[in-house]
Amino acid sequence: MNTGSDEPGEMAVATDGAKVGEDETGRTAGEQGLGSRAPEFVKARRALHVSWQVGVFVVGLAVVVAGIIMLPLPGPGWVVIFGGMAIWATEFVWAQLVLRWTKRKVTEAAQRALDPEVRRRNIILTVTGLVIVAAVVGVYLWKFGLVMPWKIEDQ
């Protein structure tokens, strides 16, 4: 078995073509198979299973819509949207694939953010921005003093 890999971040490949850490279905440890996770007695009856899927879809849709409403309003909009996607993923393969893709992209972004060069650049940009804001506030206070930029009449 060839378990070595020349490229960093590349998964090693066994001699049979499967990636190391994957089973014969292409899943890595911790990943469940695609498809419905409904109880067996629900899957056994077609009408009950379709009703179950409609219910899961409606509940997931309500959660996703609530998340979309929370995007401009106070609340954890993206978290709620991904919660609705997770509800859909209990029944629908397309939602499971979207969640797997999203998880992979978030993991890649987190790894990039931990890179020392990227962290150094982000710190430099943050400090530069804070210095610019402090300079603008300082110039405003020097020129106008501690006066609000709008007139408030005493009533």
Give the pLDDT confidence of 62-90 residue by residue, as tens digits.
Answer: 999 999 999 998 888 889 998 998 899 88
CA 107 to chain centre: 9
At 117, the pLDDT band (50, 70, 90 cuts) reads: confident
At 28, the pLDDT band (50, 70, 90 cuts) reads: low
Q: Which amino acid belongs to residue 105?
A: K
Helix, strand, or coil (residue 28): strand
- Residue 63 is predicted with a pLDDT of 93
At 126, the pLDDT band (50, 70, 90 cuts) reads: very high
Q: How far apart are CA 92 and CA 35, in angstroms?
A: 6
Q: Collect all residues with Cβ–Cβ distance below 8 Å to 64 and sequence separation of at least 6.
A: 80, 81, 84, 85, 88
Contact 67, 79 (CB under 8 A): yes
Predicted confidence (pLDDT) at residue 25 exceeds the cutoff of 70: no
More confident residue, 104 or 147: 104
Contact 36, 51 (CB under 8 A): no
Q: Collect all residues with Cβ–Cβ distance below 8 Å to 57 and sequence separation of at least 6.
A: 88, 91, 92
- Residue 30 is predicted with a pLDDT of 53
- The pTM score is 0.51
Give the pLDDT confidence of 44-61 residue by residue, as tens digits.
Answer: 777 887 888 888 899 999
Per-domain boundaries in the chain: 40-144
